[in-house]
Each structure stands twice: as structure tokens, then as C-alpha cells.
Structure 1
């Protein structure tokens, strides 16, 4: 019997791409999952698009918020209702490889790994692949991750039976980074899977496409969430900047 995987997907004005994201979940060879889509008060027809999938497959579930709360709170709403042993994350403009869950859950169970992430490739907004793979290291500890924020949220799977319950820290951006650090501070390391299991879409309006803002948000995590000293924050930030540039160039 396959363990249930709860897939967390926030949505805001995502009608252009969310159909592709949902379809990549429906194609999974691993079938025991629930897809929890939290619509963060979209102003477009995202809800209508999602409802078409809800009507076809009972594993797709929509939660509609009445006011905009941001991606962190939207993800937390889904986490509060998630029933799965495993928690996976997928944004409403990214896609998974058809065997992503099967491959990753098996990998974790065979090696007793509670927190994993994988390599992923990148596509442009129009869906054209850039022939570029973000390759991940074998393992990251808390101190290593502070200097190399390479974990792609779209690739993460966490075993709640081992890690325990968790919520996203309530910050507007880089809340996924803050969550991985929180889990690592519990004593868990994140294990990288070399296999490319997902595709990240570069969207012009996304937070991470604004590199300076992303860098500023990382600094805020160091200082305001992790409460690192100014000097250690500078040391970590230099490592982050180097690895961010290396990731884009190589």
C-alpha cells in the first residue's frame, strides 16, 4: 500500500499555467496523492480552471481564500488540512516528471531519508526548455544551506512521520528557505537526488525573477529569522551570492 502524499500548491492569478502543473500531477505513476490547491484570492479565472480538474478527479482539492494572504500563509492553509505522511511542494507554474513521486518516495524509503530534494531543469515562460539543469549536492546541513540555497521548492518531499509537523514562517518571500532551515535546526539534513525530476518555469512577475529582491530577502532571513550576527551573515551571504551566480552560469 502506497503512503499518501499531500501536494501543496498555492495559486494566485495562475490561470495561464496552472493547468499544466495540475496535469503533471495527474500523470504521476505514483497514484496515492492529494493535490491541495489554495487560491489566494485570484483576480483572473484561476478558480474556474482548477474546478475543471476538481470535477474530473477527487484527488484534486480546491481551497478558496476570501482575501489575499501571500504564498506562505496559503501554503500553511494547505498544510493544516494535509492528511499525507509525505508532503511535497509544487508551484502553479512548474511541472513534474511523470515518475517524480514514485522515484523520490522510493528513494527516501529505501535509505531512511526524511527530507529530500532533487535536481531540476529550467524553461522559459513559454515552456521552451533552456537545456540547463540545476544539479544538487548529495547532502546539505544547516550550516551548508545557509551558504548555498540550492533547494528548489518544487522538488522537496518531507516525511512528516519522522520530521514532525511544520508550518511556513510568515514572511512574504524566501519562506521556503526559512522552513528548510527550521527543519534542519531540528537535526535533519536534506539529501539531494541527482536525477532531474522537475522543471522550473521562469516567469517575469515571480519574486525570484527579481534577483536583487531575492538577495535582500535572503539577507532578511539571516538577520530577522535566523538572528545571525552581522559578520556571520556577511560570510553566509558571500557564499550564497557565489553559488547563486555559479548556478546561473554553469
Structure 2
């Protein structure tokens, strides 16, 4: 029915094992991924994840680029709120009980493409035992049935901010607004809505983004400036 969480929740309910591993249909793992993940889980961790190698659209050529994760700081929930999603969905393995305790993945249609982030936030309310594995154990394909698109990104960001409004508007908001503004600015830029994109990207530039985000932000602002000059705006 267009809601991926529906089928995933069926799989979670039918699973008989102690752990659940997520894998999107167009991604794949290295042969030792589960072995490495289980080593951490059996040592007391509840949620484990890792980087993925990005694969090009054409001829499935592996790029020398990673879909990077980051090590989360305790409190995990605050880190996820203030810095955004840190987990690649196809890298995550976690205890089935965690998913049961949070009621599974949200089947709310307004969260399609961001239901994983919502799940990690809810999981972080009940456990701090998240572990980033410092290895690249899978591949992320950049084409195919990816449900994300700029328009949907804007819609889902609005929904997630409203759902966790007290956290986004609380003491952490000064930091949290930076990644939200960048995501919104980038999505508006991709849609060619340069006025809105510029508004959000200027918010990012006034914060202290990472070096990579800073470069991307100023590049988009530069392109917007050139566009406006050419349009006589």
C-alpha cells in the first residue's frame, strides 16, 4: 500500500530470532556483516550500525565514497534530535525486543521515508546501548526504488518536527535547527525554489556546521547568487 513499514512490521512479528536486521531491497551486505554485528549485540549492545559504500546508478560501479554514520553520544536521544539521523537503515541490526517495546515502525503515511529515524528516536528513549561499528560492511545503491525526493523530504521534516516539537523547540533547538535548516534548504534548492532555499541555508551559515556541510551550504548559496544575478533579481 505504499507504506514500507507495513511489510516490515509483518516481518518483525513473524521473526523467531532475537535480533532483527534491516536491508532495503536495492542494498546489500558484505559476507561478514552479520558476524560483526552479532559480536557487539552478544556483548550487550542493543542497536548496532555502520557505514555503507555508495554504488553508482550506472553499471553498479562502487564509488570511493561512503554513506557515513557517526558515533552517537549519550544521551542518544538528544544527539539524534540535535544532530539528525546517524544510522543507515540497511546497516542496522537490533534486538527484536526493542522494536516490540516501541510498537514497531510507524505506519503513518506522513512518515514514509523517515519512519526509520522516528524508530531510532523512540528506541533511544528506552536504551542508550547504541554502537557504531567502525567498519564498512555493506553497499548503498543510489538509484532504483528509493522513496525519498525533495518534496517528500520537506513534508516529512515538517511532520517529524511537529511530532517532537517540545524537543526541537526546547534547550537543544539552537543546535537542532541547523541540520533541519540544511535539509530544508537543500530540498528547496533541488526543487529550484531558490528564495526559500536561500532563507534556510543562511540559517545554517550562521551556525557552526561541519566542514563538509559548510562547503555544500556556501556552494549552494553561491549558485543561487549567480542565478539571481542572471535573472536580474
- What TM-score do the two structures reach when normalised by structure 2? 0.66
- Pair 1:231-2:169 in alignment: yes
Corresponding residue of 1:168: 105
Residue ranges of structure 1 left out of the alignment (5+ in a row): 1-67
Corresponding residue of 1:124: 56
- Aligned-pair distance for 1:239? 2.8
CA distance in 1: counterparts of 2:177 and 2:155, whole angstroms: 10
Change (3 A) 1:193 1:247: farther
Once the two structures are superposed, residues 136-195 of structure 1 have per-residue CA deviations (whole angstroms, 9 ceiling, x without a partner) of 323341111122312100000102356754400123230010000011011334211110
Change (3 A) 1:88 1:229: closer
Structure (1 or 2) with the greater strand fraction: 1
CA distance in 2: counterparts of 1:76 and 1:161, whole angstroms: 13
Corresponding residue of 2:138: 198
Bigger Rg over Cα? 2
- Pair 1:155-2:91 in alignment: yes
SS at match of 1:139: coil
CA distance in 2: counterparts of 1:215 and 1:194, whole angstroms: 31
CA distance in 2: counterparts of 1:218 and 1:143, whole angstroms: 17
- 1:95-114 to 2 correspondences below 5 Å: 95-110=28-43, 112-114=44-46
- What TM-score do the two structures reach when normalised by structure 1? 0.62
Corresponding residue of 2:193: none
CA distance in 1: counterparts of 2:118 and 2:6, whole angstroms: 14
Corresponding residue of 2:159: 220
Change (3 A) 1:234 1:138: closer
RMSD over equivalenced CA pairs, Å? 2.7
- Pair 1:139-2:79 in alignment: no
CA distance in 2: counterparts of 1:102 and 1:247, whole angstroms: 37
CA distance in 2: counterparts of 1:195 and 1:145, whole angstroms: 21
Residue ranges of structure 2 left out of the alignment (5+ in a row): 183-208, 217-233
- Aligned-pair distance for 1:103? 1.0
Corresponding residue of 1:115: 47
Q: Give the number of aligned pairs.
A: 178
Structure (1 or 2) with the greater helix fraction: 2
